Amino acid sequence: MNGLVRRVAVRSALALLLAGCGWLGGSRLPPAGSVSEAVRAREGRDAPSPLPRPGGSPPPARDAAGVVDRVIAVVNKDVITLSELQESVAYYLYESKRPAPPGGEKALREQLLRRMVEQRLQLQEAEREKITVEDAEMNEQMAEIMKRAGVPSQADLERVVKAEGLTLESFRKRVREQIMIQKVIRRKVALRVSVTEGEIERYFLENRDKLETGLSYHARHILIALAAPGREADWEAARLRAEEVWDMIRAGGDFAELARKYSQDPSARDGGDLGVLKQGELASEIEGRILRVRPGEALAPFRTGLGYHIFKLEWKEGLSGQALAQTKQQIREILFRQKYQARLEAWLEEIKRRAIIEIRL
């Protein structure tokens, strides 16, 4: 893998960790009484040079007062700086491969800052829960990142990470913190979500038509069309003829023969045979009626703009065996994601309520 391709691959791995979340577990607030001095030190002329932006984008612009960096949010004992937010914006724009929309950068900055605050809170919860990351876990995760990025050695990884304005130590710190957040979310959210068989069955019954879309069925059709569309007398004549045919079907008449004799649909010469259809091919209001009857049964006449229709369902595929098992597993995953997302949002709101958050942006 050449150097350019490798850098792009590592940037993708970096983006998974960096895009939109800022530096997790960044600077801690100094002890009480020295906050202002620390902020002045970071905001003054001795502030460190900003890190290079992804892809060589320009460094953060100074604000109206000429300040290079400053604290823009306080999350309990953590601070978030302007340079951290600008870095998140840069990585987000790099990963999305498009510039911020006109007038949309302010909204993007606010959105990313909210995400950074949430991740700081999650990391603090992980620390409160005394969650740790074993060396074996760390090594396994780093090996996976290197494998995905096509980086053969740690020395190569260090070179491409450095080319992005980072250090390997800070990169490993980010990986460790992400693992901690994953663990605390698993403990506080994922392990407290369950899906019952009753919930799966209820979802299946409520969404059966959608779940069976694409399955096959075989139907026949008789159409009693209007002789002169528009006149009420012609509609009545068509209805009476359809009722006569329907009576013959209920009396045991052969549907195919009756279709050949009475139907005015092009399928009449084939005994009304529509062939094998996939669910979703016919208009939903017609298909829904057909699939509500049992195989071998015919459907009483009903009216559309063309006239009166009589359908017979010969057979239909149903979800059973392995297909049914797979569908129910998909339903379990859908319900789990819904519950997981709801619980995650509730948990985040809970830890926000308990936190002291000050936004200075």
Three-state secondary structure string covering 116-141: HHHHHHHHHHHHHCCCCCCHHHHHHH
Domain membership of residue 171 (yes or no) is: yes
User: Quick one: what percent of the chain has pLDDT higher than 90?
Assistant: 50
Most confident of the ranges 10-14, 23-27, 62-66, 155-159: 155-159
| Cβ contacts of 338-345, under 8 Å, gap ≥ 24 | 339/193, 339/194, 339/195, 340/189, 340/190, 340/193, 343/189, 343/192, 343/193, 344/185, 344/189
Does residue 180 share a domain with residue 268?
A: no
Domain count, the chain: 2
Helix (H), strand (E) at residue 273: strand 273-278
Q: Each residue of 314-344: pLDDT tens digit?
A: 998 887 788 889 899 999 999 999 999 999 9
State how far the alpha carbon of 285 is from the alpha carbons of 2, 214, 239, 292, 302, in Å.
Answer: 58, 16, 19, 11, 11
Provide the pLDDT for residue 186. 96
* CATH code of residue 222: 3.10.50.40
267 in any annotated domain: yes
Whether 90 and 53 have beta carbons less than 8 Å apart is answered as yes
- CA 132 – CA 158 distance, rounded (Å): 24
pLDDT at 14 (0 to 100): 59
Residue bearing the bigger pLDDT, 102 or 276: 276
CATH of the domain at 117: 1.10.4030.10
Higher pLDDT residue, 199 or 57?
A: 199
Length of the chain: 361
223 domain residue, yes or no: yes
Give the lowest-confidence range in 68-72, 174-178, 308-312. 68-72
Residue that wins the pLDDT comparison between 70 and 44: 70
Token duo for residue 81: 């700086």
pLDDT at 116: 93
Quick check: 361 pLDDT over 60?
yes
| pLDDT score at 21 | 36
pLDDT of 54 > 60? The answer is no
Per-residue pLDDT at 28: 36
Decide if 285 is inside a domain.
yes
- Considering the domain architecture, whether residues 143 and 244 belong to the same structural domain is answered as no
pLDDT at 56: 42
- Does the pLDDT at position 34 exceed 50? no
Compute φ and ψ for 191, nearest 5 degrees: -70, -10
DSSP 60: P
* Lowest-confidence segment of 46-60, 134-148, 280-294 by average pLDDT: 46-60
Q: Are residues 144 and 219 both part of a single domain? A: no
| Residue 200 CB partners (closer than 8 Å, separation 6+) | 328, 331, 332, 335
In a domain, 328, yes or no: no
Give yes or no: residues 240 and 312 share one domain: yes
Write down the mean pLDDT value for the chain: 81
Please check whether residue 53 lies inside any domain of the structure.
yes
Residue 122 inside a domain? The answer is yes
Q: Are 38 and 183 members of one domain? A: yes
What is the mean pLDDT of the segment spanning 20-24?
A: 34
State the pLDDT at residue 11.
Answer: 57
The rounded Cα 164 to chain-centroid distance in angstroms is 29
HSE-CB of 205 using CA atoms within 13 angstroms: 5
Amino acid at 162: K
Is residue 208 in a domain?
A: no
Q: So what's the pLDDT on residue 6?
A: 53
pLDDT at position 171: 86
Of 280, 299, 316, the residue at which a domain comes to its end is 316
Q: Which residues of 154-165 are buried (b: 16+ CB within 10 A; e: fewer)?
A: eebbbbbbeebb
Q: Is 217 found in the same domain as 181?
A: no
Give yes or no: residues 222 and 81 share one domain: no
Q: Burial level of 328, CB count in 10 A (0-12/13-18/19+)?
A: middle
Q: What is the pLDDT of residue 37?
A: 33
CA distances from 22 to 81, 194, 333 (A): 9, 32, 30
Q: How far apart (Å, rounded) are the C-alpha atoms in residues 125 and 292?
A: 53
Residue 218 shares a structural domain with residue 183: no
Return the percent helix, strand and coil in the chain, to nearest 5: 55, 15, 30
Q: In the chain, what is the greatest distance between 2 CA atoms, to the nearest angstrom?
A: 98
Please determine, for residue 88, whether its predicted confidence score (pLDDT) is greater than 50: yes
- Contact 14/161 with Cβ under 8 angstroms? yes
User: Please, are residues 6 and 160 in contact by the beta-carbon 8 Å criterion?
Assistant: yes
Residue range 201-259, pLDDT digits in tens: 999 999 987 887 778 999 999 999 987 666 888 899 999 999 999 999 999 999 999 99
- Domain end marker among 154, 188, 222: 188
> Do residue 53 and residue 135 come from a single domain?
yes
Do 218 and 182 belong to one domain?
A: no
CA–CA distance, 100 with 323 (Å, rounded to integer): 44
8 plus 106 within the same structural domain? yes
Could you tell me the residue range of the domain that residue 43 belongs to? 3-188
164 phi/psi in degrees, rounded to 5:
-90, 10
Q: Is the pLDDT of residue 30 over 50?
A: no
Say yes or no: 149 and 238 in one domain. Answer: no
